[in-house]
Structure 1
C-alpha cells in the first residue's frame, strides 16, 4: 500500500501494553539471545494493520511469542493509521516519541527518503546474519534496499517485509452469474464485462477517488502497455521518462473513457478507500480493483454472496514485497526489534499469515490449507514468476501520493484534460529528479 499503499485506513489509536510474568524456554528460532535475558525493558511497536487482517492476526501472535521468549520485556503496541505514519514519520522519527520498530511504506518517496535523511537503521549486517536475505527472492528485495540517494534497488538494507502484495480484480460471482459472465482472461474481456454491467444499469467498479485506488487504476491502465524498461525508468530513474509517451497517454485517455462510459462513478472523487471496500463488501458493485491487503477482510466480512479474485489481465501489475519493518536510527532497543522481526519471518507465523488471507514470503506451501488463500498466493507467484511486479505509482517522489490523488480526481470530475493532468504529474517528478542530480 498502501500501498501507500495504503490498505485499510484505521482512524483509532490503540495502545496495548502487556508484561508476561512467566518465561517460556527459548528455542533459538526467534533470535532472542541476550536480549531475552536482560533486565526490564520495553519494545515500542507501531503498525497500521487491522486486527482481523492477515498481518494483524499474524503479528498479534508474534507479540505473544515474543513475550514468551522475552519475559522481562514489555511490548507497547500502538496501532496507527496508514495516513498518520505516512504524513508524520519524518517529524516523529526525529523526536523522543519514535518507536523502536514500525511498519512503513516502501519506495523512494517513503522509506527511501527516510534512509537518505539518516532516520532509518542500516540493517544489512543483521539481515545477512539472520538469513532474511535468503528468504526473500530478488524481486522482493528491491524495495528493501536503497542507495545513498534513497532510490530503491540499492545495496543497503533499510527494511524487511514478511509478506507480499499485489493489485488484482475482486469480483462478485453472483453478479457475474446474473449477467452470464465468466472470469475475464484478457483486457478486452474485462472491458466487455463492464459494458454488460452498464447495459444492465450497474456501475461496474467500486472506486475511491479521495485516496489511492483511482490513481492505482490509472497506473494499471498504463501497465497494459508497459514493459520492464518503462517501469524501471519511472520507478528507479534508470532513464528518461516522458509523461506524454504512448503509455501514459493511453492510460489517461482510457481512464477518462471509463468515467464517460460509466465504469467509474463521477461521484467517486469523494469516496474513501474504506467506503470503496465496504460498498463492495455489501454487494453494491460487481468489481473492485485493489490490493491483496483487502483479502483477509473480505474473507471474514462477505457473507451475502460468493466472491473471488483474478489477476489484472496484463503482463504486469502494481505489486511488490509488502510494507516493511523499519528500525528508527534513534531506537535504543534495536536488538529487541530484530528479534521481533525474526519471529514474523519464521514458518509458523508465515503459515498463519497465509491461512488468514495474506501473501507470505517464507511459508510452508503445504501448510496453507484455505482454498481461497492458496489461489491468492498462487496468483502472486504467477505474477512474480513472469517478472510482473511493477511497484506502485506514488513511489518515485516525495509527496507524489497527494499529487496523484489530486490529478486523478480531475480526470474523474473533468476539471482538467488528460494532457493537463499528465503535465501536472510530470512537474514534481522532474523536480525531484533534478534535486537528485538527474
Structure 2
C-alpha cells in the first residue's frame, strides 16, 4: 500500500475545510517572462554553514541571471506540520527546504506536491556530484521510501551528530577529552563532583532523542538499521541496541549527567547555553558548527562522534525541493545548480558546513576539515544511521514525547521503549507501509 493512500486522504480532508486547491492538483503554468525574484522558504539559523552558502549562491545567481532570491524564514514546525497545505495552494514558494526521510519528503512526493527533478539531474549532471548515501535521502520510490529511483529533492550539504566539548572547562578541572565511553562517563562523574552538570540536552525538542539514537548507533548493525528505516525485516525490540540505549539514558538521568531541567528546554536553549560556556559537553548537529565558529568567543572547543559508535547519526542534509506548483521550475533548478557549484560548495566548507560536492584541498579552516574528514570516514563505508524519526511522520513528535516522560521520571526505561514501539508500529501502519 502506498503512503499516499492513507496520508494524502487525511490531508485532502483538511484542505477542503481550508478552501485550498484539491489534493494532487498540478496547476503548474510556468512563467514565460523572467520574474524579479524567486521565493525560497527555509528554516536554518542564518549563522549555519548551509544558510551562509545559500546566501552566497543567491549573490552569484543574481549577478548571473538578474533574478533575486527572496529568502523567507519559517520554523521547522511550520514546514513539517503545514508544508503540504501550502505546497498544494497558490501560496507555494518557488523553492523550499524540506526535511528528508520517508515521513517528510517521501510523503510529499507520493502526494504529487514535489517536482520530479530527474530531467534537471540529467541536464546539470548532479548525480555525478551527489552519490551513494548522500543521494539516498533525495530519491524516493512510488511508496515514498527513500533510496528509490526518482529524484524529488537535491541535498547541498551533509550533517551528523558530534559531541562538542568545552576544552577550557576540561582543562580547568584537569580532564582529558574522552576516547572511550567509559572515559566519557568518568569525566561526567568528575564534573558532577565539582557541581557541574556535564551534558546539555533538551527534552522538549530533539536533544535527548539524538543522544538516545547515537547510543543505539553504538550497538546496532546494518540489519537493524535496514529494518528500522527501510522496513526490511522485523525489528527486534529486545535487541541489545534499543534496550542498551534506553537503559543508558535512564542511568545518565538518574546520575545527573542530564539535568531534570531538560524537560523545559528547547534546542536553542541548550545551544545558547553551550555558546555561553555553561556546559562542558553538548551533542548536537554539525549545522551548529558554523555558529560555534562565529559566536563562541571566550573558550576553545573541539568535537568528535560519541566514542565507540559504529554508526554516525546523520546523513546528507535537508533537501532543496521545487514544489510542483512553482511557476519557475527552470530558474529554481538553475539556483540549485549554483548551490552545487565548486565555488559555493567550497565556501560552505569554510563556513562550517559539510559540502557534498566540495574539494577538501580547498577547505582552509582546520576545524571544518576535521569535521568533513570525520563525516567521510563513516559515509564512505555506509555507516550513517540517519535519524530515528524518518520511518514515519508521527515519530518526530512521538519519540521525543516518550523520552520526555523518561526525563520527567513518569516512565521507566521499559515503559519508554514500549511507548516508542507503539508509536513506531502505529506510525508505519497509518502510512500504509506494513
SS in 1 for 2:229: helix
Determine the C-alpha separation between the residues in 2 that align with 1:285 and 1:51. 23
Displacement of 1:41: 4.8
Task: Identify the match of residue 66 of structure 1 among 46, 58, 61.
Answer: 61
2:155 aligns to what SS in structure 1?
A: coil
Structure 2 residue aligned with 1:98: 92
- C-alpha separation between the residues in 2 aligned to 1:210 and 1:91? 26
Matches within 5 A, 1:276-425: 276-313=270-307, 314-425=309-420
Number of residues of Structure 1 aligned to a counterpart in Structure 2: 403
Name the TM-score, length of structure 1 as normaliser.
0.89
Deviation string for 1:154-191 (max 9, x for gaps)?
A: 11111111100000100000111122222222222212
The equivalent position to 1:165 in structure 2, one of 159, 166, 191, is 159
C-alpha contact 2:31 2:327 (8 A) present in aligned 1: no
Q: In structure 2, the residue corresponding to 1:51 is in which secondary structure?
A: coil
- Aligned partner of residue 62 in structure 1, secondary structure: helix
CA distance in 1, matches of 2:317, 2:177: 27
CA contact (8 A) 1:170 1:288 kept: yes
**How far, CA to CA, are the matches of 1:116 and 1:245 in structure 2?**
32
Question: In 2, distance between residues paired with 1:282 and 1:233?
Answer: 40
Task: Supply the distance in 2 between the matched residues of 1:271 and 1:432 (Cα, whole angstroms).
Answer: 26
Distance in 2 (CA, whole Å) between partners of 1:437 and 1:143 is 18
Classify the secondary structure of the residue corresponding to 1:351.
Answer: helix
Which of residues 52, 69, 77 in structure 2 aligns to 1:75?
A: 69
Q: CA deviation at 1:38?
A: 4.8
Residues 211, 283 of structure 2: 8 Å contact kept: yes
Range moving further from structure 2, 173-182 or 322-331:
173-182
**Hey, what's the Cα distance between the residues in 2 that align with 1:238 and 1:65?**
44
Superposition map of 1:13-412 within 5 A? 38-71=33-66, 73-313=67-307, 314-412=309-407
Q: Which residue of 2 aligns with 1:18?
A: none
- Please provide the CA RMSD for this pair: 1.7
Alpha-carbon distance in structure 1 between the residues aligned to 2:376 and 2:35: 43
Q: Distance in 2 between matches of 1:437 and 1:55?
A: 33
Give deviations 1:373-418, integer Å, cap 9, x for gaps.
1111111111213322110011110121110111110110110122
Task: State the alpha-carbon separation in 1 of the partners of residues 433 and 229 from structure 2.
Answer: 16
Q: Tell me: CA distance 1:39–1:379, structure 2 relative to 1, closer, same or farther (3 Å).
A: closer
After TM superposition, the structure 1 stretch with the greater mean CA deviation from structure 2, 351-360 or 52-61, is 52-61
Q: Secondary structure at the match of 2:200?
A: coil
Aligned residues of 2:394 and 2:427 also touching (Cα < 8 A): no
CA distance in 2, matches of 1:176, 1:36: 58
1:53 to partner: Cα distance: 1.8
Q: Secondary structure, in 3 states, of the residue corresponding to 1:168?
A: strand
What are the superposed Cα offsets for residues 306-347 of structure 1, whole Å, 9 maximum, x if unpaired?
111112221212110000101111111110110000000001
Q: What SS class does the counterpart of residue 224 from structure 1 fall into?
A: helix
Partner of 2:22: none
Displaced runs of 4 or more, over 4 A: 35-38
Q: Distance in 1 between matches of 2:44 and 2:433?
A: 36
8 Å Cα contact 1:36-1:70 kept in structure 2: no
1:432: Cα distance to partner? Answer: 3.3
1:21 corresponds in structure 2 to: none
Contact 2:399 2:423 survives alignment (8 Å)? no
Q: In structure 2, do the counterparts of structure 1 residues 434 and 48 end up closer, same or farther at CA, with 3 Å as the change threshold?
A: closer
